[in-house]
Structure 1
Amino acid sequence: MLNNESIISIIIPTFNRVKLLKSTLSSIKVQSYTHWECLVIDDGSTDGTEELLVKRCNEDSRFRYIKRPVTRQKGASTCRNIGLELAIGKYILFFDSDDVLLPEVLESRMQAVLKNPEYPFHVFQTARFNNKIQDSDAVWNSLSKPNASDLQDFLNINPVWHTSGPIWSKRFLIQNNLCFTEGVNSWQDWEFHIRVLLLHPSYLKINSKETMVYQRFHEEEAINKLNALDIQLNRIQLLFKLIEAFKAEKQFDNIQVQKQFFKLFYFVIQKMPFKELDKKLWQHIEEELYLVPKLDVCFWKQYVHFKERYHGRGTYTFYKLLKRLKKQVFNKRFPVDDFSNRTWYQIKRN
């Protein structure tokens, strides 16, 4: 068992991804930086994950295999939190079971971290690939913008970094009670990073090829298997939780913040089946976002309502009128459905 040599703890949640997990663990094992531990938290796999991890742990004691207790909620967020609770490293890297590290990456990252230990976290780049790392064609997002713009980018659903991007000071996470929201299956990483940024921490972004993690795109991605309605309901739940976080930091009594939340609710609601758009949900949103002009709320509520139903008899003409009003009036007041500034995975690799 590692003790003071375990400088960084790599935390990986997994569920029935044994084929992908094998290459992920292999990429960690061959790191030139040897002062690590890797905690793999199993969310109830039935595909041979346990056999793989038992073998890995026997071969290298730096690997630790943990099963999620049945008394804890299922999900990647719970598994990450369990890993954080059990980690013995000074630094934390949250990793996914389909991510891959080139052999020198951890060493390059830790050199940067140890050179600037005063920062509570350091952010590094992530690139995507499909079959081979050599085929990687785009990076996660730009790390060149000022830190002051990052919170707004996240709120625009333009996440600046991937889950595997930061290396965290464990002390910073624990002291600020920062953990992942359990019981949700979408946007939990996004919401976690927004809560971090609400604290206005100082942090360093480093954009170099030597520190890049590679994220695999594949058919088994968990989000692709989720029911569409479940995804949207989870996102609604997270948005209300985020509102409470903004209130706690006394940053919610601001019309621009509340307008941004209205945009986020609209982004989710427009993807929901019409029958799920009940009056209680809209009422709850209006009560929370009390600074958003009622005229805008009323218009966009009607717009999404008739956008869903415009093919029905007697509604198409009214929908055309709403589209005209949107273009001529409401987009100029408050462009609720405009997320055109997103650069997430649209930046080509050099």
Structure 2
Amino acid sequence: MQYQSNAMNTQPLVSVIIPTYNRAHLIGETLNSVLAQTYQNWECIIVDDGSSDNTDEVVGAYVEKDSRFKYFHRPDEHLPGGNGARNYGFKMSSGDYIQWLDSDDFISPINLKLKVELAVIEKSDIVISKNTKLLTDFKDHFVIQKTLRPSNSITNKFYKEFIQSRNQILIGDPLIKSEVTKQLRFREKLIRGQDHDYLIRLFHQPLKISKIDNQLYFYRQTDNSITRKASSLSFRFANAQLKLNIEIQSKFCDDKDIVFEYDRKNKKLYKTYILANRPEFIFLHFNIFRKTFKLSYFEFLYFLALNIITKKGFDRMKIV
């Protein structure tokens, strides 16, 4: 059955872009949440990143049922991974607004309606809501809270706190005007912190951002999620995280608060690998960690040996 509406062309089109990889068992719930939107003028672009399960069959059923679903396979011109799939999805989109969404998460039925209404009323470039990983909270809140909250223009304080990871904004939450993101792409070679990196670059522009004090976005951490992979002490992910931390410090080197925050992140990484009996990661990046702690070569070597042997002494290095 194809979807038709005479009123659709009077409302902004929203492109919901979903990269997916071997999520046939979960993506149905995600697509159902898009299908359940009270706001009707959307297109949903799903980009498969090389799945080996029955994703084609599952997504194909939605495409057949509703022409607003559009299914693609990531072409070789984009690198494997969610970043390449997202970039291709954006290339294939036609919306006035973009809503990124991961294939194991979902949005409340009033997500697009509230965000588009506020974006139009306030002439906002971006609308942000709250998110939750607790399904009970999510169901309770989207039924009850429907009031549009006052909007806030972006401020230096907002931007700085986001860079410092004090504002938790997940990539599947913001509704973004296509115009302000058309020059941005996800960095396809980046395997850690890619969402944070994308949003840092997005928020660096002079934008008007509105906020809705509702939990409209539910996310979950699956066994093969990047978060879980990072927590498994993979050197590949830790290397990528450390590299991104140093890059952000370099970019905002004149802001001592941001530099301090990313020093703190590096120190936390150091402690994690020492306690996990994986000091080889520290030796791989000896000078980076030494400079992070602002210690001489021999001072750092002394504390490193002490930490490895006793799993103590971190406080003396002022790890926070």
TM-score by length of 1: 0.73
1:120 aligned to 2:125?
yes
- 1:269 corresponds to which letter in structure 2? Y
Report the Cα distance in structure 2 between the residues aligned to 1:276 and 1:80, rounded to whole angstroms. Answer: 31
Q: Tell me which residue corresponds to 2:269.
A: 268
Q: Tell me which residue corresponds to 1:183.
A: 189
Q: Aligned residues: percent identity?
A: 22
Report the Cα distance in structure 2 between the residues aligned to 1:294 and 1:216, rounded to whole angstroms. Answer: 38
Is 2:45–2:89's contact at 8 Å kept on the other side of the alignment? Answer: yes
- 1:277 pairs, out of 277, 282, 289, with 282
Q: Tell me which residue corresponds to 1:154.
A: 162
Q: How many residue pairs are counted as aligned between the two chains?
A: 299
CA 103–303 in structure 1, closer or farther in 2 if over 3 Å, else same: farther
SS in 2 for 1:18: coil
Report the Cα distance in structure 1 between the residues aligned to 2:43 and 2:72, rounded to whole angstroms. Answer: 13
Q: Tell me which residue corresponds to 2:36.
A: 30
- 1:108 pairs, out of 114, 132, 155, with 114
Report the Cα distance in structure 1 between the residues aligned to 2:271 and 2:227, rounded to whole angstroms. Answer: 18
- 2:228 pairs, out of 224, 228, 242, with 224
Q: Tell me which residue corresponds to 1:170.
A: 178
Report the Cα distance in structure 2 between the residues aligned to 1:240 and 1:126, rounded to whole angstroms. Answer: 28
- 2:218 corresponds to which letter in structure 1? Y
Is 1:41–1:83's contact at 8 Å kept on the other side of the alignment? Answer: yes
Gaps of 5+ in 2: 142-149
Q: What whole-Å deviation, never above 9, does each CA across 1:14-51 have from its counterpart, x for those lacking one? A: 11111110011011112111110111111111111111
Tell me whether 261-270 or 300-309 shows the greater mean CA deviation: 300-309
CA RMSD in angstroms, aligned pairs only: 3.4
Gaps of 5+ in 1: 137-142, 332-336, 339-350
* TM-aligned CA deviation for residue 206 of structure 1: 1.9
CA 198–6 in structure 1, closer or farther in 2 if over 3 Å, else same: closer
- 2:225 corresponds to which letter in structure 1? E
- 1:283 corresponds to which letter in structure 2? N
* TM-aligned CA deviation for residue 197 of structure 1: 3.1
- 1:93 corresponds to which letter in structure 2? Q
Report the Cα distance in structure 2 between the residues aligned to 1:195 and 1:283, rounded to whole angstroms. Answer: 28
Is 2:45–2:69's contact at 8 Å kept on the other side of the alignment? Answer: yes
Tell me whether 300-309 or 15-24 shows the greater mean CA deviation: 300-309
TM-score by length of 2: 0.79
